Amino acid sequence: MSRNGRAPKADATIGVTGRPQDPDRSADRSGLRRELVENELYETAAQLFALKGVAGTTLQDIASAMGVSRQALYYYVKNKDDLIEKVVTEMIEVTRSLSEHFMASEELAPDERLRAVVRALVLQIAERPYRHRLVTQAESMLSGDLAREHIAYRNRFVKDIVATIEAGISDGIFRPVDPFTAAMTILGSCNWTAWWYHGDLVGAQETADSVADMAVRGLISADRQRSSSGTAEGALETIRESLSTLERALRKQSTD
């Protein structure tokens, strides 16, 4: 109390302990907590949508799985449709990031560029399989700007793959195949990772390496294969394959 009997004015920078508070630090903690809760919300919802279907899953189901009240979810989403849109938007951003990374690697040879982008795509799908499944399930439900944005980035990604395969064919690296068919086949194998990958026997990194390697090897021309077989790089690749085979055999033996 002051001498005139009045309480001093509260200082916004003083906490209950009497010590100065850092507003930026407090905001950072709040933002981090929100990000963590949103991540758990998206992952829980995506898993339930995959197991029960979008129509068969309610916000109450999601809240119960998270151990919170349904009302608590309204702080993060308006309704189930809003939740789906947020997950799809997040995955669009992932696709956008991949596209930017892909275009930034144009200095690489076509086979190296294709290997890099397929590996990156499989890795992000393996890390978020249920969210990727949700995007596939929800494609027909999207409308308006979100639908147009999703289609635009998906088409851009396909065009990037097609252009890389065309460049590889022109350079004599890839066999003369139909670029669009090859691109869709490769992307289909990547997308299916969301359904069969579980991470129990083979890690995400090794899975991404394997899918990327198969994608490139399936396109390599016969001349390219013959020319690389007698080089130091070809010998190293053979050693890597042998070590990979041995590693898988040992892992399988340890689990039997």
Q: pTM higher than 0.85 for the full model?
A: no
Domains of the chain: 27-77 (1.10.10.60), 81-220 (1.10.357.10)
pLDDT of 38 strictly over 70? yes
Q: pLDDT tens-digit profile of 190-227?
A: 999 999 988 776 788 999 999 999 999 999 987 665 55
Say what the pLDDT of residue 164 is.
Answer: 93
Say what the pLDDT of residue 210 is.
Answer: 92
Long-range contacts of 251-255 (CB under 8 A, 24+ apart): 251/201, 251/202, 252/201, 255/201
C-beta separation of 48 from 61 below 8 A: yes
Task: Give the integer Cα–Cα distance in Å for 233 and 10.
Answer: 71
